[in-house]
Amino acid sequence: MPGPRIRSYARPKKGTIKRLIKSLWKHFKFELIISLITLFVSILVNLCGSIFASLITQVVTNAVIEGAPHVFTGSFNASLLNIIPLKTNLTQLLIALSCIYGLGVICSWTWNRTMAVVTQKYLNLFRIKMFSHMQKLPIKYFDTHQNGAIMSLYTNDIDTIRQLISQSLPNIISTGVTVIGCLMVMLFLSIWMSLVVILGTVAMVLNTKIIGGRASRFFVAQQASVSKVEGAIEESITGLKVIKVFTHEEDSLKDFEKVNDELYGNSTKANIAGNIMMPINGNIGNFMYVFIAILGCILYLTPGTYNLSLTGFREVSPDVFYGLLLVPFLMLCRMFTNNIGNFSQQVTFVVMGTAGASRCFDLLDEISETDDGYVTLVNIKKNPDGTFEETSERTRDYAWKHPHKADGTITYTELKGDIVIDNVDFSYDGKKTVLKGVSVYAHPGQQIALVGATGAGKTTITNLINRFYDIADGKIRYDGININKIKKDDLRHSLGVILQDVNLFTGTVMENIRYGRLDATDEEVYEAAKIANAYDFIMRLPQGFNTMLSGDGANLSQGQRQLISIARAAVADAPVMILDEATSSIDTRTERLVQKGMDQLMKGRTTFVIAHRLSTIQNADYILVLDHGEIIERGNHESLIEQKGTYYQLYTGAFELE
């Protein structure tokens, strides 16, 4: 089986932003319209505020020039955008400015609050969608991706999407509209001074493209490195006991330092480039400000100056040039450069958010586990004459409901647990053959034991019965039905599985046992615990069956955890059982107790047993010895001992299973 790997995400996929916006629009169309309207009004308010601030400057300048004593009540001549003449006073302008900024506060609050709510709602839906899709992915996906890297999608990458939606995209829209508005107003005021702004803008864009482009690449690499670090941490936490047992703390630290140093390198390069870009753009803006002030002074000192603007040639009196043109232009220039700087800063966050969204969409684009099955498992009620009929009541009798597409008829096949694996070939990666020509015949109620060294293909056989993977060649039939025709959920409902690695979930002991069948009653849970011989130790726990388990049952011994796992399988009451090293983690005394429960659990059921302890399978109906994906011996315990082959040597200790 291929080992875990970490995918490399050098560049986000094209169209990621478009896909994200389309998804947002689909779920929150009304809220986004409200947000966009209030955002544009807020931008317009800021521009109007700057214009009215320039009018106040004109009024104050005129008052100083004319020597008027009543600045607040006296009427003065002013000009809107140096085009429309106005008769106003400072009081009127201050009232107008207060109303404008008041409207700006309301709009700004509205769009910020709306976007905050939309963002969190969307991320909530996005995480649910990712988690739901993740559970539908084939086992192969989790075999080839580190758990920590997958977890990073739900934490680190989702957070970059939050930054992108709630801040970066609205800021880019805001700065873009503001920059265009400022440039139009400045062109109306003076083309000569606007040329300085345009040249400075070109310099800022080049700086953003060159330095910002490098920063963006490093930020994307930083995101990928973060997932590697989280994967390494998750792996170390999971295997901490092993690390301590073999005193590999130093080696583990060195391995972590490698991925952490990679993160350090990418983060350092990204932040250096990002931190350099902003001061350079800021200083370009300062130079623009100085050059415009110098140009304005030159125009101010030149008698009879003609000011070129989009409205044509207009003579501007040097006496009023400062108040009518230069100060408003400088204010607009400062707003323009600040927004250009903000825009360049947001570009980096957009790249990071796009990279995070791209990785999340990659998960959503993974092909779900396919299921073309149409045969379902139903409860049946047997009649005295030996016939049976489908029922909605829960019974311990089942049948396969098989609709026939050709003639529209439905046939029922009683579930007996007859499993035939016929000449099956299988490979995980399409290159290395794991199973070759394997045939297994398990009749109802039989116990089939699989023996062989690690990697011989024992677990692979049980994975194929569960349809965790689909076979390349051969057939697997369940009660005469090709398992490809059976719906996977129904197939797996008919199989009880006990694994060597026990997984317990956060919750009570009863909830963990009931996980095998969620509609099981308390009495059925108690009975299952008794079958697994877990009842006595559970009752000795602080709260009995209501004892809370956490950290994968860290407060229980390995044997106790396995007993709960066996009880979980018992409550599922499946007609076919798969026991994968079920007693390997249990001590000899506990094993005897469990074996009694296991015998009762396996009674009347077809059972596949994978065991390293050959003493536990002596009573098996058939024992299959596997070697490199092939069955080299088969028979019961006595016949295999008489053959004195591989099984005999394993049993007598001449060979080891590993």
What b/e sequence results for 199-219 when a residue is b if at least 16 CB atoms lie within 10 Å of its CB, and e otherwise?
ebbebbeebbeebbebbbbbb
Mean pLDDT confidence for 388-404: 86
Q: Please tell me the number of Cα atoms within 13 Å of 410 on its side-chain side.
A: 11
**458 φ, ψ to 5°?**
-65, -55
- Does the pLDDT at position 1 exceed 50? no
DSSP E strand boundaries for 386-432: 388-391, 398-403, 410-414, 419-427
Q: What is the model's pLDDT at position 302? A: 60
Rg (CA), the chain: 37
Average the pLDDT over 264-290 and give the result: 78
d(CA 115, CA 344): 21
Q: For residue 306, name the pLDDT band (cuts at 50, 70, 90).
A: very low
In the chain, the amino acid numbered 36 is L
- Phi-psi category of 397—alpha, beta or left, where left has phi over 0 and alpha has psi -120 to 50? beta
CB 243 within 8 A of CB 236: yes
Q: How far is CA 253 from the centre of its chain?
A: 27
Is the pLDDT score of 582 beyond 50?
A: yes
Please list the residues that pair with 535 across neighbouring strands.
Answer: none
% of the chain surpassing 70 pLDDT: 81
Q: Which residue has the tokens 């991925």?
A: 259
Q: Which tens digit of pLDDT belongs to each residue from 502-551?
A: 788 888 899 989 988 888 889 999 988 888 888 888 998 889 999 888 76
DSSP 375: B
CA proximity to 456, closest of 270, 273, 633 = 633
Identify the CA nearest to 161 among candidates 360, 361, 353: 353
DSSP 3-state assignment of 449? strand
Has this prediction a pTM greater than 0.85?
Answer: no
Q: Given CA atoms 277, 283, 287, 288 in this order, what sign does their dihedral have?
A: positive
Among 76-90, 367-381, 638-652, whose mean pLDDT is lowest? Answer: 76-90
DSSP 578-647: EEESTTTTS-HHHHHHHHHHHHHHHTTSEEEEE-S-GGGGTT-SEEEEEETTEEEEEE-HHHHHHHTSHH
Each residue's pLDDT tens digit, 104-114: 888 888 888 88
Distances from the Cα of 647 to the Cαs of 144, 621, 624, 638, 653, in angstroms? 34, 15, 9, 11, 10
507: helix, coil or strand? strand
Beta bridge partners of 433: 427
Q: Give me the mean pLDDT over the 219-228 stretch.
A: 77
Quote the pLDDT of residue 125.
Answer: 92
CB 332 within 8 A of CB 186: yes
- Stated as kind and residue range, the H or E segment containing 658 is none
Q: What is the pLDDT of residues 473-490, one digit of tens each?
A: 889 999 999 999 999 989
Compute the C-alpha angle 377/381/387, nearest 5°: 100
| Whether residue 15 has pLDDT greater than 80 | yes
Domain positions in the chain are 16-365, 376-414, 419-652
pLDDT of residue 408: 81
Residue found by looking up tokens 């490399």 in the block: 8
Give the burial string for 280-313 (b: 16+ CB within 10 Å, else e): bbbebbeebbebbbebbeebbeeeeeebebeeee
Q: What is the mean pLDDT of residues 288-297?
A: 77
Kindly give the residue spans of alpha helices, DSSP state H, lying in 314-457: 318-321, 327-365
CATH topology of domain 419-652: Rossmann fold (3.40.50)
Over residues 427-468, the pLDDT tens digits come to 887 778 888 999 999 998 889 999 887 778 888 888 889 888
Q: What pLDDT score was predicted for residue 590?
A: 66
Q: What is the pLDDT of residue 585?
A: 58
Look at strands 606-610 and 576-580 and give their pairing.
Answer: parallel
3-state secondary structure of 291: helix
Kind and range of the H or E run holding 475: strand 473-478
Q: Which two tokens stand for residue 94?
A: 């201050």
Q: Which tokens go with 32?
A: 């986004």
Q: CA 92, 96, 98 angle in degrees (round to 5)?
A: 115
Instruction: Using the predicted structure, report yes or no on whether residue 120 has a pLDDT greater than 60.
Output: yes
Q: What percent of the chain has pLDDT over 90?
A: 11
Looking at every residue in the chain, the average pLDDT score rounds to: 79
pLDDT in tens, 52-81: 666 666 556 555 555 554 554 555 555 554
pLDDT (tens digit per residue) in 354-383: 888 888 999 999 988 888 889 999 988 888
Token pair for 586: 């249990």
Mean pLDDT confidence for 10-15: 68
Asked if pLDDT for residue 14 goes beyond 60, the answer is yes
pLDDT at res. 121: 92
- What's the rounded mean pLDDT across residues 639-658? 75
Give the single-character DSSP code of 486.
Answer: B
pLDDT at residue 214 is higher than 90: no
Start-end of H helices in 2-28: 16-27
Q: Which of 480, 491, 463, 473 is nearest to 374 (CA)?
A: 491
Average pLDDT value for residue range 339-351: 78
Residue 136, classed as helix, strand or coil, is coil
Instruction: Name the DSSP letter for residue 9.
Output: -
- Decide: 403 and 481 in contact? Cβ < 8 Å: no
Q: What is the pLDDT of residue 388?
A: 85
Residue 8 predicted with pLDDT over 50 = no
The count of C-alpha atoms lying within 13 angstroms of the C-alpha of 153, restricted to the half-sphere facing its C-beta, is 23
CA gap 399, 415 in Å, rounded: 5
Structure tokens at 130: 């990712």
Tokens of 43: 């931008």
16-365: CATH superfamily: ABC transporter type 1, transmembrane domain (1.20.1560.10)
Looking at residue 400, its pLDDT comes to 92
Do residues 47 and 57 lie in contact, with contact meaning Cβ atoms separated by under 8 Å? Answer: no
**Res 655 pLDDT > 60:** no
At 381, which amino acid appears?
A: K
